Amino acid sequence: MGDDRRRIHCRVSGRVQGVWFRASTQREAQALGISGWVRNLLGGGVELSAQGSREAVGRLEQWLRRGPPRAHVERVDVSDEALAPQGLGFDILF
């Protein structure tokens, strides 16, 4: 049996700063039981790392392609990463 967890690293571009993207991502991740972090990037994008069950991470990935109501997501680049020790919570980094 394989591990049912997945860890992803994402870069989201478009109008994703100043529209509550990080806080909305945190809320969505917490609701799905995902640990990780999200932060703004210089140049206007958002970056995040997320780990949880494959199903939950897949649902977060789908949500990222829409984002919160005021966002306009143009692109989401996703790469898989090696699993890390399960962290607690989902943080907004500054």
CB contact set of 31 (below 8 Å; sequence gap of 6+): none
Just list the catalytic residues: 22, 40
Contact 30, 69 (CB under 8 A): no
Give dist(CA 64, CA 43) in Å, integer: 18
Q: Phi-psi category of 36—alpha, beta or left, where left has phi over 0 and alpha has psi -120 to 50? A: left
